[in-house]
Amino acid sequence: MIDAARMYVNYVKERQEELSAEMLVEHQFDCHEINENIWGTADMTLIGEDRLVIIDLKAGRYPVENNGNNLQLRIYGLMALARYSEKKYVEMVVVQPRANHKDGPIRSSTLKSEDLAHWGFEWLKPAAEKCLEESPEFVAGKHCFFCNYKPECEEHANYKNKER
């Protein structure tokens, strides 16, 4: 774990210097423009001249994808963008030293800020509102991997039975 932490810290330092960026460590953001229930704590946020860089340390061995569609990183990026809206780009980085991923331990994707904001209002906002309906629709899949409700979820049980 010391080597994993060292890799993360070295990467953050390199990027901070490269971008001459302000650093926010374990900063809590919200996204009340989209939904008052959307909030989170980003491991690391670098605020550069024209970009925000969200860096998420993953200590586990289960490989996390970061192909521009990582929901957690998109939401962190959107929340940071809500506060620093003048930035042109949002870069999302996963640092995962212990996972054996085909793309290596550090994986990055970048979105134009306007595209991320559009996604927030066109996809995330309606999805968040659906979650608050009286009888929300449950959709099971691989994304349920870390869900705490999974053992009680009928939809997940049906999904697992179909997989067999």
Q: What does the pLDDT read at residue 38?
A: 93
Residue 47: CB atoms within 10 Å:
17
Is residue 159 pLDDT above 80, yes or no? yes
The DSSP 8-state label assigned to residue 63 in this structure reads: P
What is d(CA 130, CA 95) in angstroms, rounded to the nearest whole number? Answer: 32
Residue 75, C-beta contacts closer than 8 angstroms, at least 6 positions apart? 31, 38, 40, 124
Chain mean pLDDT for the chain: 92
Q: What does the pLDDT read at residue 6?
A: 94
Over residues 82-127, the pLDDT tens digits come to 999 899 999 999 999 999 889 899 999 999 999 999 999 999 999 9
Q: What does the pLDDT read at residue 67?
A: 87
Share of the chain above pLDDT 70, in %: 100
Is residue 164 pLDDT above 80, yes or no? no
The DSSP 8-state label assigned to residue 37 in this structure reads: T
113-122 core/surface letters (b: 16 or more CB in 10 A; e: else): beebbebbee
What is d(CA 32, CA 84) in angstroms, rounded to the nearest whole number? Answer: 14
Is residue 131 pLDDT above 90, yes or no? no
